[in-house]
Amino acid sequence: MESENQPGNDKLQKKLLPRHIMFMAMGGVIGTGIFKGSAETIGLAGPAVVLTYLFGGILLLVVMGAIAELASVYPNRNMKDFIRLAFGPRPAFIVGWLYAFLMLSVCVIEVTAAGSFLQYWLPDVPLWVLSLGSAALILGINRMSVEAFGETEFWLAGIKIAMIIIFIVLGAGLLFGLIPGTSGEAPGLSNYSAHGGFMPNGWLSIFSALLVVMFSYGGSELIGLTLTEAKDAEKVMPKVVKSFILRVVLFYTLPILIICGLIPWNQLEGQSSPFVQVLEATGLSGAAHIINFILVTAVISAANSSIYGATRMLHSMAAAGEAPKILGKTNTKGVPVGSLALCAIVLVLGAVIAFFAQDNLFAILLAVPGFVVLVVWLSICLAQIKLRPQYKTTPTFRIWGYPYITGATALVLAVIAAGFLIDPQNRFSIGICIGVLIMLIIWSILKFKKADSIQK
């Protein structure tokens, strides 16, 4: 049998189907951001937060459109390769490691969350044991062939999506009195205008909530890492992106409208999921068990996608000589086992840290994904602007309004990132991000200094 570490055995396999790519990206997006984070966004902007999700969806559409266009021109390349082609190896090196840092941070958060959710059924089992068990499950899934992995993630994400669809139908029935609830009379549209109106905290609250919304939408760019393992990526990617954007925006905005319609925005309890509160309003027995199962599935799926993103980014960087060669090693199934081993170490360390400081871990890491997502999205937009005049082939998909639409999106992303930096609540988390960014800049200068001197 061929050895996993046989020299030269470092190639990925093109086994991902369009439905795999779609659900993997949605698995990364639909997680704690919607099931728990929606309470925070509604608390910031009230019912008007739906406008925030729609605006964030427009930004997401442009970013994903840029990825689809670049994929049609540069086949067998991922999003880090696009940045390299546009700006050279140093920015690509920085963004690549920053994205791997993002994915690993998210995975630690999700694995710890999975352990805490499992304690609902297993209260006597220590959190670190359940977190490690969740990590082992995720690592085992990622060790399967990419086709089997895609199929598993397809079904995991499918459970979440089915839950949201059921929630929308059930919530709409409660909202308009088609399904009897425990509270008696159906609220109809009254809660959208009562309790301070549709926009109770003013226009600025919409932009304040945008920071949390961007964190929620983070993970969509995972599509940009599936390109090297997707069949006919340059042909199927535009179709996948178009349908993906529509579904993500609908799966966020419709549940938000249902929640705000059934429960006054200022009566939501931040400690529990708004989904739990709505299910309790139906009088369904066992609603807490149902939502807890969905939450466990949601965080496992999100962590699964995060590990995929981290391993593929690290594999890509190892292939480009930007990371240790061991991280580029794959097994006979095309799984980057070297990168997966590093992820396993990080997950074990995360479980250990969670054992001592669970609450602090969440507080420290929660703002990290939002900021890094903004940097990655901004880099993708700038790469598309820079590369379009250099295309040697005609793209099968073109993002409209070049360069104004992409440029305006890049500007908005930069403004949001600046808002992240000056927000006092994110000061410690952003300090960590800035520290990592400075370290990567110094590392890139030292790494490519020799190459620059040789070229001169």
Residues 93-145: tens digit of each pLDDT:
998 898 888 888 878 877 887 887 788 788 888 888 888 888 888 888 888 76
- Encode burial over 270-292: b for 16+ CB neighbours within 10 A, e otherwise: eeebbbbbbbebbeeeebeebbb
Q: What CA–CA distance (Å, rounded) separates 402 from 382?
A: 12
Question: Is the confidence at residue 1, as pLDDT, over 50?
Answer: no
10 Å CB burial of residue 367 (0-12, 13-18, 19+) is: buried
Q: What is the pLDDT of residues 373-389, one digit of tens each?
A: 888 899 999 999 999 99
Paired strand residues for 230: 16
Provide the pLDDT confidence category of residue 31 given band limits of 50, 70 and 90: low
Question: Is the confidence at residue 6, as pLDDT, over 50?
Answer: no
Question: Is the confidence at residue 167, as pLDDT, over 60?
Answer: yes
Least confident of 13-17, 61-65, 289-293: 13-17
Structure tokens at 95: 């963004």
Pick from 371, 346, 432, 436: which is nearest to 112 by CA? 346
Cα dihedral value 73, 78, 79, 80, nearest 10 = -120
Residue whose token pair is 């149902």: 290
Residue whose token pair is 């929606």: 38
Q: In the chain, pLDDT over 70 holds for what percent of residues?
A: 76
Q: Which conformational region is residue 232 in: left (phi greater than 0), alpha (psi within -120 to 50 degrees), or beta?
A: left
Contact by Cβ (8 Å): 223, 71: no
Distance of CA 380 to the CA centre of its chain: 15
Q: Which of 325-329, 367-371, 394-398 has the highest mean pLDDT?
A: 325-329
Question: Is the confidence at residue 298, as pLDDT, over 70?
Answer: yes
Provide the pLDDT confidence category of residue 192 given band limits of 50, 70 and 90: confident
Least confident of 13-17, 18-22, 382-386: 13-17
Provide the pLDDT confidence category of residue 16 given band limits of 50, 70 and 90: low
**What is the per-residue pLDDT for 221?**
66
**What is the per-residue pLDDT for 378?**
93
Question: Is the confidence at residue 399, as pLDDT, over 80?
Answer: yes
**What is the per-residue pLDDT for 13?**
47
Distance of CA 136 to the CA centre of its chain: 21
50 compared with 232, residue with greater pLDDT:
50
**What is the per-residue pLDDT for 32?**
61
What are the structural domains, with CATH classification, of the chain?
Answer: 18-448 (1.20.1740.10)
**What is the per-residue pLDDT for 351?**
75
Least confident of 197-201, 228-232, 394-398: 228-232
What single string gives the DSSP state of each residue in 376-415?
Answer: HHHHHHHHHHHHGGG-SS--SS--TTTTHHHHHHHHHHHH
**What is the per-residue pLDDT for 348?**
84
401 compared with 34, residue with greater pLDDT:
401
10 Å CB burial of residue 179 (0-12, 13-18, 19+) is: middle
Least confident of 51-60, 359-368, 417-426: 359-368
Question: Is the confidence at residue 427, as pLDDT, over 90?
Answer: no
**What is the per-residue pLDDT for 7?**
38
269 compared with 351, residue with greater pLDDT:
351
Q: What is the pLDDT of residues 273-284, one digit of tens each?
A: 677 777 766 666
Q: Please give the model's pTM, rounded to 2 decimal places.
A: 0.80
Question: Is the confidence at residue 340, as pLDDT, over 70?
Answer: yes
Q: What is the pLDDT of residues 214-258, one digit of tens each?
A: 767 776 666 655 555 556 655 666 666 666 667 777 778 888 888
